[in-house]
Structure 1
Amino acid sequence: MKKKVFWTQPDHAKRSRLSLTLIAAAAGALCMHSASAATAAAEAVAEASADPQATVEASSSIIGASVVIKGKALNNADRAQLRLDEIPGGTSLISAAEVEKGRVFTNEDVLAYQPGVYAQAAGGTDGIKISIRGSAINRGTNFFRSGTLFLFDGLPVTGPGGTPYELFEPLGLSHTEVLRGANAFDLGALMLGGAINYVTRTGYEAAPFETRVEGGSFGYRKVAVSSGQVIGAWDYYAAATYSERKGFQTLSSGESKGVIANIGYKFSPDVQTRFYLRYRETDNYQPGALTVAQIEANPRQANPVSVAQDAHRHQPGSTWIANKTTWNIDANSKLEAGLVYHDYPIDQQLAVNVGEWGFRDYSASLQYQRNDTLWGHRSETKAGVLTTSHLNGWLNTYVRIPAAATAALPVGTLIRRARYDGTDTTLHAGNDLELASNFWLTTGLSAIWTKRYTEVTFPFTNEPYNRSTNALAPRAGLRYTFDNQVQVYGNVSRSIEPPNSWAFLTIPPTFTSGPATGLSRRGLDLKDQSANTVEIGTRGRALNSNWSLSLYRSSVKNELLSVEVIPASATTAAITAESNATPTIHQGIEAGLESELYKDASGKLSARQSFTLNDFYFRNDKRFGQNTLPGIPRRYYQGELQYEHGSGFYAGVSVQAASAIDVDYANSFRTHGYGIVGASLGYDHPSQGWKVFVDFRNLADKHYVSSVAPTYNDNRTDQRRSAPGDGRGVYAGLSLSFR
């Protein structure tokens, strides 16, 4: 068999040509000296020089010929962008102001146009599918997220059980940071997908009163009210949100309501603390998976089994409370401490034989940062610890509907009780050393310790399962910034991901001999997933365009893959199994481009684009050979063309396109690729604090598959594995703020 190389897979010659064309284009841009960037820098310097109170300092860490103007404060997003530009790998920053130009319903809206990120909603709920570099590739929607560390304001939401989705209200944010793979090292993230950090507004960047109303197709309504101010040494931000939707599909209605708040206090210019609160309730019906043929014929129907079960997931109220205190010890060092309490119960009382379960987690973090001169070279050192533990993880399973009841087991009978415990602790230390002007070496080492404990306590008490593991994860990288502010980088790294705490109570399969029939010791002995990754890339500005391009290859061992082995019926719940796979490869291309195509005194025409190539496959598995890993498309593209007038009016058109998705590990059946078109227009008043928008989604009413929950082998048949994307929709919104 012909051996694979980086940009190819067995049946994709055309895709190889596309990949090589993209690389060649980026290389050409890299080799061009950016006269326009230098001109922009000169103009900024001249403008600042006209202000007698400002001095100008060029910064080698700023991409795009930017300058730092002393005396004029950078906002949170500006400072975050500078930090991300110093990482020798793929990162991106998402401005909330850009996202809020259109509908903001779920995090699919927030994470759009991000290279390397596959974020798709289904069924109208917050439980969207998120995969970065193939992390959690086979997880469907409405499941705990795995493979990526999720944070609010630099503090973890993810615990040993994974990441619940109900707290991720997309409004109220300042910006969102995406750090792919090992580029999230300094956050304590060691997962294949890296980290996503949602940063909340504070009183320093909020209006004393702001309200936003959205509404549109499929019974969608959303209301948000917020307030933020600075009062002496104090500042605060608080927002309340409510949303509901009747649903595109039958049995896809849902609602949510919640609160986001933080309050900060500056003891002195060098010491400050901030308390955070997030609380949210969600109540979502679940239409279930359909066949591809059903989606293409009528995507608004629901799975008949879900209808029979009245499938329903209720999060009665999840709470996330945290504190972060920062101490600038001196001009060259800083210490940051954080504490988190996270309570997330779930009640699926209308599903078959599924009851109440949830977790209570606590987290603690300590981060130290110092700037020095080492052997005459600038040096930046960061060290920290991040630990998260279950206070109590529990599961109570009941007989829930008459169809599942018997004389011996009437409705409401407790049939199973289990408990979970787990701890993840990461120690990390890294250094950035400037070897020569604008040439930096990044090194780091993480140590991770994990503990998992599971026990069934009713109707019998089994022997508890208890395990502990530890591992080391090194990282090294180089970055060089040319005089025209074009940057090239490369890094090598190792990632470690332990199984979720609940995974040890699933029925284990084997990826070489098919599903197992019982709970075996082999299944309990799930191993940690590990991967060795090589990444190279570039980012910068030339010809009025900003670009980013990363190419990576991860050799994965013991990849954690879950699959539905027994589908749900009217009287039984689906059974999902998790197991370690034989060695796999995750490799791909992540490209982003933002271009200013035309500009005059009245306005400008701009475009933004992202392209992701996902090449994920087994390495000579005994059963599946070099088959593609199912669950997400190989090629994924998003693009938008937008015109902005100086008066505040804007209008644009967008496109999203994806290739076919394999639905099973045997690669016996796949969905069809698709392309959907949207449009938007709006008005943002430049001074009076109000804006309106109209957002058109899927204008051609395309019937397409947005998400897949894979299985082993469907033997070339079209089974219920897929979730449809929404049909044609129109949404409008109004925002008012008073300062």
Structure 2
Amino acid sequence: MPLIPPRSQPALAVLPLSLGLVLASPVHAASADPATTLDTVKVTAATDIEQARAALKRIPGAGNVIDLAQVGQGRIGGTADVLAYQPGISAQSPGNEGVKVSIRGSGINRGPGAHASGIAVSLDGLPLTGPGGTPYELLEPLWLGRVEVLRGANGFERGALALGGAINYVTRSGRDSAGLQLHYEAGSRGYQKRSASYGGVSSDVDYFFAYTDTDFDGYQRHGKGDGKGAVANIGWQISPQLETRFTVRYRETDHETPGRLTRAQIRNDPHAANPANLAIDARRPQPGSTWIGNTTTWTIDDSNTLQAGLAYHRYPMDLNESLYRQQLDYANLNATLDYTHRHTLFGRDSVTTLGLRVTHDLDADVRETLRFASNGYPAGTHTRDFSHHGTDSVLHVGNDLALTDTLRLQTGLAAIHTRRDVQVTWPASDGRINEGTWDYAPRLGFTWQASPQVQWFGNLSRSVEAPHPWSMIWGSNRYFPAGYGASSGRQRAPVPLVNQTATTLELGARGDSAIGRWELTGYSARVLHELLSVELQPVPNLFVAENNASPTAHRGIEAGLDSTLWQGSAGVLSLRQAYTFSDFRYRHDARFGRNMLPGLPRHLYQGELRYQHPSGLYAGVNTEYASRIAVDYANSYWADSHLIFGTRIGFDAPSGRWQAWAELRNIGNRHYAATVTPGYDDAGKDVARSTPGDGRGVYAGLSWRFD
């Protein structure tokens, strides 16, 4: 569920109060005191963003609340733009709509564009993440009002038990997006984005509709892509106690896949495409994802609330990124049920929550054929069919108890049941995994309001992450029609994997002071059976294997600071900064010892210095630094570190009717690796494992609103 209830409140209510105070009786009516008129009182209701930030302070751990109005003051091409300048979050894009998002090392070695791992992603509080991970094409940022992130084990109350936590993308509604709005942005390398939206309120119903499409040529050759889709969000306040909201999203994308490059290529020719990808015209068309969700909230009384949600998601894919064409028919049915009871316990204020989160594969079947003649078989040869279905059910109960006016204790316990049914079904049924597993996740946390400006928090929690069903298909054995040959890179039978678990200790503080709004968090996680993937064979005969690792450790520091450096009649000068330190490594692996896990930088810093004039004019300069990245588990080779700069200027009309901006990114045209997809042991060789970040680019945009 969202951090705040789905119902939105008006930002400002002005209540003129004229109270006649009459002391009268039938006998003395004529001598009554004259009416007393009080001054007008302005009652300001908290905005959705303010309510979400207040709700975050009740959680004994770290999180982020992202206001899309602020993000929209520059290019908002994809998820990486939304999650920028946020402590604890690494979000990098290879130049298309695919993105690699990691929190506390989640999905550390996944490639961009793959189904994301280790983070439970929701749309309007309803699960988007299924047993097979999280697709990315539905995450159009122009449809969003805000994003709520609960890092690590802090997604507990949403039934999100994965190592990285939870991200909730909240759709705009008619209450915060009234009228018709047109949006256009364009820039380097053929980038264009167009959007039209309309929202409003009619009696007890609010509504929001939007259409968006995008085109780009890409930074690398063979990197063109496009996407288009629509969203509808309709809420109905049936009664003061009952509200329901429907959301429908549809989106389709088509991307060329330029492939990964070596470090030398990124340094000298980052526009290049991988020759193997060019040879096979690698691409990923996604014919159209449909997501339909409903959330209904019943406020039973002042002490009890019940919320139920149901979402259907169908997302077929047509992968043409290797010698094989894989046609995937995917569909999920996901549900949530949450009950909140406010009461007293031991004479103290207490809130008890009970929730159920279920994600279930309806269809997850794959048909595979040869795209090109290979090993004596003609193009179009039907090579294999397989299926991988899963169900994840999480039942969680928690309590938030006020020990004192400033100290709160939170306790919780979750039980998770996972089922995996994985089978190669053609040309022969050879091996099947059909098993169910129970696991558990206890949680103990506290918040201490040390002063009105400073809050301390901490928790000791366990996380559980089940393997994706599709990852169990990729094994080291081979299976193909008789005589096809072991070099095909296909496997004989599914490979069993066990749940990844971690015990995490987190301590931190947040507050407001003379230096600004700040947060500082440290965590240490001991991980067992970490699910790690490795590319064993490159394109065109791409082969990626997934395995449970020996014990690993994830440790880090997450810091954020938003400061007002100067404020006067001429405007405001502010600085926002986010720093993430990540130390992810084996504990004592038989081969790799205490090597760092490849795929992410150890240090990541983002900052923006911004000037805002009262007229609505703003300007800023920004920077990003990332340290070098290991590209294999042997730590035998590293991608370069990078330091890039950008600038932006814009104008927000005080009336709120229009906005214009221009932005320059990567001013120095620095060549760098945005993402790394690791290998096993490259023995010090420069292997193509990195996707380049965008070079110098100029972008501009305009939004116009009609009431």
Q: TM-score, normalised by structure 2?
A: 0.92
Pair 1:560 & 2:528 matched: no
Pair 1:377 & 2:348 matched: yes
Q: Render the CA deviation track for 1:196-236: whole Å, top value 9, x for unaligned.
A: 10001111111210010000001000001001110111111
Aligned equivalent of 2:430, options 437, 443, 462: 462
Structure 1 residues 695 and 541, CA gap change in structure 2 (3 angstroms): same
Partners of 2:656 and 2:178 in 1: how far apart?
A: 12
Pair 1:397 & 2:368 matched: yes
| Cα offset, 1:50, TM superposition | 11
Pair 1:542 & 2:513 matched: yes
Pair 1:246 & 2:217 matched: yes
Q: Could you say which residue in structure 1 is the equivalent of 2:88?
A: 116
Partners of 2:211 and 2:338 in 1: how far apart?
A: 31
Alpha-carbon RMSD: 1.8
Structure 1 residues 208 and 504, CA gap change in structure 2 (3 angstroms): same
Aligned equivalent of 2:599, options 624, 631, 649: 631
Q: Could you say which residue in structure 2 is the equivalent of 1:75?
A: 47
Task: Letter of the 2:82 partner, please give it.
Answer: V
Contact 2:430 2:492 in 1 (8 A): no
Q: Could you say which residue in structure 2 is the equivalent of 1:453?
A: 421
Pair 1:343 & 2:314 matched: yes
SS in 2 for 1:203: coil
Between 1:586-595 and 1:340-349, the stretch displaced more is 340-349
Q: Could you say which residue in structure 1 is the equivalent of 2:56?
A: 84
Task: Letter of the 1:404 partner, please give it.
Answer: S
Aligned equivalent of 1:689, options 634, 649, 657: 657
Contact 1:561 1:579 in 2 (8 A): yes
Partners of 1:191 and 1:440 in 2: how far apart?
A: 25
Structure with max Cα Rg: 2
Contact 1:353 1:404 in 2 (8 A): no
Structure 1 residues 149 and 186, CA gap change in structure 2 (3 angstroms): same
Task: Letter of the 1:560 partner, please give it.
Answer: L
Contact 2:14 2:42 in 1 (8 A): no
Contact 1:590 1:612 in 2 (8 A): yes
Structure 1 residues 601 and 386, CA gap change in structure 2 (3 angstroms): same
Partners of 1:279 and 1:204 in 2: how far apart?
A: 22
Pair 1:282 & 2:244 matched: no
Pair 1:422 & 2:356 matched: no
Q: Could you say which residue in structure 2 is the equivalent of 1:485?
A: 453
Structure 1 residues 545 and 361, CA gap change in structure 2 (3 angstroms): same
Pair 1:661 & 2:629 matched: yes
Q: Render the CA deviation track for 1:449-476: whole Å, top value 9, x for unaligned.
A: 0000011111112232111111110001
SS in 2 for 1:354: strand
Contact 2:407 2:446 in 1 (8 A): yes
Aligned equivalent of 1:141, options 85, 109, 112: 112
Partners of 1:556 and 1:678 in 2: how far apart?
A: 38
SS in 1 for 2:638: coil
Task: Letter of the 1:110 partner, please give it.
Answer: V
Contact 2:87 2:580 in 1 (8 A): yes
| Cα offset, 1:352, TM superposition | 1.6
| Cα offset, 1:688, TM superposition | 4.9
Partners of 2:13 and 2:178 in 1: how far apart?
A: 31
Partners of 1:117 and 1:688 in 2: how far apart?
A: 31
Partners of 1:49 and 1:456 in 2: how far apart?
A: 62
Larger RCO: Structure 1 or Structure 2 (Cα < 8 Å, ≥ 6 residues apart)? 1
| Cα offset, 1:373, TM superposition | 1.6
Pair 1:191 & 2:159 matched: no
SS in 1 for 2:55: helix
Aligned equivalent of 1:96, options 60, 64, 68: 68
Q: Could you say which residue in structure 2 is the equivalent of 1:443?
A: 411
Task: Letter of the 1:357 partner, please give it.
Answer: L
| Cα offset, 1:671, TM superposition | 1.1
SS in 2 for 1:186: helix
Q: Render the CA deviation track for 1:57-91: whole Å, top value 9, x for unaligned.
A: xxxxxxxxxxxx99533232222111111111111
Contact 2:13 2:44 in 1 (8 A): no
Task: Give me the identity figure in percent.
Answer: 47
Q: TM-score, normalised by structure 1?
A: 0.88
Q: Could you say which residue in structure 1 is the equivalent of 2:337?
A: 366
Q: Could you say which residue in structure 1 is the equivalent of 2:686?
A: 718
SS in 2 for 1:307: helix
Aligned equivalent of 2:195, options 224, 231, 239: 224
Q: Could you say which residue in structure 1 is the equivalent of 2:544?
A: 576
Contact 1:508 1:578 in 2 (8 A): no
Aligned equivalent of 1:604, options 568, 572, 592: 572
Task: Letter of the 1:260 partner, please give it.
Answer: V
Aligned equivalent of 1:646, options 599, 614, 617: 614
Q: Could you say which residue in structure 2 is the equivalent of 1:295?
A: 266
| Cα offset, 1:355, TM superposition | 2.1
Q: 4+ residue stretches of structure 1 with deviation over 3 A?
A: 48-54, 69-72, 403-406, 517-521
Which structure 2 residue ranges, 5 or more long, are not aligned? 1-11, 19-40, 478-488
| Cα offset, 1:438, TM superposition | 1.2
Contact 2:596 2:630 in 1 (8 A): yes
Q: Could you say which residue in structure 2 is the equivalent of 1:528?
A: 499
Partners of 1:380 and 1:71 in 2: how far apart?
A: 28
Partners of 2:112 and 2:515 in 1: how far apart?
A: 39
Which structure 1 residue ranges, 5 or more long, are not aligned? 1-47, 55-68, 510-516
Structure 1 residues 53 and 547, CA gap change in structure 2 (3 angstroms): farther
Pair 1:156 & 2:124 matched: no
| Cα offset, 1:634, TM superposition | 0.3
Q: Render the CA deviation track for 1:408-434: whole Å, top value 9, x for unaligned.
A: x43223211111211000000111101
| Cα offset, 1:736, TM superposition | 0.3
Contact 1:238 1:259 in 2 (8 A): yes
Q: Could you say which residue in structure 2 is the equivalent of 1:323?
A: 294
Structure 1 residues 245 and 333, CA gap change in structure 2 (3 angstroms): same
Partners of 2:91 and 2:98 in 1: how far apart?
A: 10
Task: Letter of the 1:376 partner, please give it.
Answer: G
Q: Render the CA deviation track for 1:591-645: whole Å, top value 9, x for unaligned.
A: 0000000000121000000000000110110000000000000000000000000
Q: Could you say which residue in structure 2 is the equivalent of 1:25?
A: none
Structure-to-structure mapping, 1:28-43, within 5 angstroms: none
Q: Could you say which residue in structure 1 is the equivalent of 2:648?
A: 680
Partners of 2:412 and 2:217 in 1: how far apart?
A: 49
Q: Render the CA deviation track for 1:144-196: whole Å, top value 9, x for unaligned.
A: 10000000011000001111111111112110011101111111100000011
Aligned equivalent of 1:212, options 173, 178, 183: 183
Contact 1:393 1:421 in 2 (8 A): yes
Partners of 2:388 and 2:599 in 1: how far apart?
A: 28
Structure 1 residues 185 and 462, CA gap change in structure 2 (3 angstroms): same
Partners of 1:369 and 1:485 in 2: how far apart?
A: 28
Q: Could you say which residue in structure 1 is the equivalent of 2:21?
A: none
Task: Letter of the 1:382 partner, please give it.
Answer: T
| Cα offset, 1:378, TM superposition | 0.9
Contact 2:277 2:321 in 1 (8 A): no
| Cα offset, 1:51, TM superposition | 7.8
